[in-house]
């Protein structure tokens, strides 16, 4: 099994090097010359299953309002703390 891992590792390294040189050009050519294969390639990279969770489902309106208020309070406090870091009139650098 060790030799298979070594071969896989060497192949992936070679593929990575080739992609660094020709990757974007190859992708563009595939899209222009064979759009079906291009779309299949993109689809193969997407997750096979998407799990949607609804963590707030089942909460009452009052519970949702309480959560919203906690978020507002937390955001307000965070905003005040951020304001303390920058002197009045000074802009935060991005």
The total of structural domains in the chain comes to 2
Tell whether 57 and 45 lie within a shared domain.
no
Q: What is the pLDDT of residue 23?
A: 94
Is the residue at 92 inside a domain?
no
Over residues 24-50, mean pLDDT: 93
Is the residue at 9 inside a domain?
yes
Q: What is the pLDDT of residue 74?
A: 82
Does residue 94 have a pLDDT over 60? no
Tell whether 42 and 56 lie within a shared domain.
no
Tell whether 2 and 36 lie within a shared domain.
yes
DSSP 1: -
* Residue of 55 and 90 predicted with greater confidence: 55
Q: How confident is the model at residue 14 (pLDDT cuts 50, 70, 90)?
A: very high
Q: Tens digits of per-residue pLDDT, 39-89?
A: 999 999 998 888 888 888 899 999 999 999 988 888 777 766 666 655 555
CA within 13 Å, CB half, 27: 9
């Amino acid at each position: 099994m060790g030799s298979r891992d070594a071969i896989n590792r060497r192949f992936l390294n070679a593929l990575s090097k080739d992609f660094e040189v020709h990757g974007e050009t190859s992708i563009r050519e595939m899209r222009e010359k064979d759009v079906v294969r291009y779309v299949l390639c993109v689809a193969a990279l997407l997750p096979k299953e998407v799990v949607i969770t609804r963590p707030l489902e089942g909460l009452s309106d009052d519970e949702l309002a309480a959560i919203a208020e906690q978020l507002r309070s937390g955001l307000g406090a965070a905003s005040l703390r951020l304001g303390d870091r920058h002197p009045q009139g000074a802009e935060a650098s991005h």
